[in-house]
Amino acid sequence: MPFYDRTIELAILSHPQKDHFGGFLYILDRYDINKFWLNQVYGSSRSFEELLDKIETKDIDLVMPKAGEKAEIFGGKIEFFWPSDEFIDKNTFSDSTTHRLFRQTGLDTNEFSLIFSLDTGALKILFTGDASPLILNKLSDLPAGRQDQSKLKSDILKIPHHGSKNGLTVEFLKLADPTYGVISVGKNNSFGHPANEVLNMLEAQKVKVKRTDLEGDIVFKIQSSNVKSNPKSK
């Protein structure tokens, strides 16, 4: 973004864990955000409360999309595949300690990660947050008629959960069938991400892997019907 552009039209938070929302605490001090999309699950931490306070103070439009919902932005189309109303109703609850717009859960908040695609017309990108095999298998196993699984097919796949072995499955990878797989992961992280099992899985499916720990920021330039990857190191 040019230095004089201080407006972000749309921000999307996959789920309320600090390694995903922490940067927004600083961004909100420096930029105006028009719309903020996130899921309905409450993150019970002081940092998440601080995030919500900043969003409310700046009167930002909060949207909580669910499976089946669609939106258009700058000529592109966004479609959400997870979480579903049914899953949220079954696995969340409200109580007096929760922010009025959110619900509590006894499950790992990873399970509620927003899974959505961005279709620019030239290519399709599938975002998966920190979704676990449990959730990816739910999408892979949906019966015909409930969801057209071809909608999950993508050119670029954001590999779930930083390349953890508790993320991507072979079934979901074959369904998405991406050309590129992007792993957002910290260098020399203590979790050992990305897992060798996932890297081997991607290699077996001939997916071109881009990793932030090795290449810094990963930038895809969209030119007509072609996609070019231009890694930019920090």
**Domain boundaries in the chain?**
67-229
194 vs 96: CA distance, rounded Å: 39
What is the pLDDT confidence band of residue 52, given thresholds at 50, 70 and 90?
very high
Q: Is the pLDDT of residue 5 over 70?
A: yes
Q: What radius of gyration do the chain's Cα atoms show?
A: 18
Q: What is the pLDDT of residue 27?
A: 96
Segment 44-72 mean pLDDT = 93
What is the pLDDT confidence band of residue 109, given thresholds at 50, 70 and 90?
very high
Query: What does pTM read for this prediction?
Result: 0.88
Segment 23-32 mean pLDDT = 96
For the chain, what is the mean pLDDT?
A: 89
125 vs 136: CA distance, rounded Å: 16
Q: How far is CA 162 from each of CA 132, 158, 177, 201, rounded to the nearest angstrom?
A: 11, 9, 18, 14
Q: Is the pLDDT of residue 205 over 80?
A: yes
Q: How far is CA 142 from each of CA 115, 132, 203, rounded to the nearest angstrom?
A: 15, 16, 26
CATH of domain 67-229: 3.60.15.10
**How many residues does this entry show for the chain?**
234
Least confident of 1-5, 80-84, 153-157, 220-224: 220-224
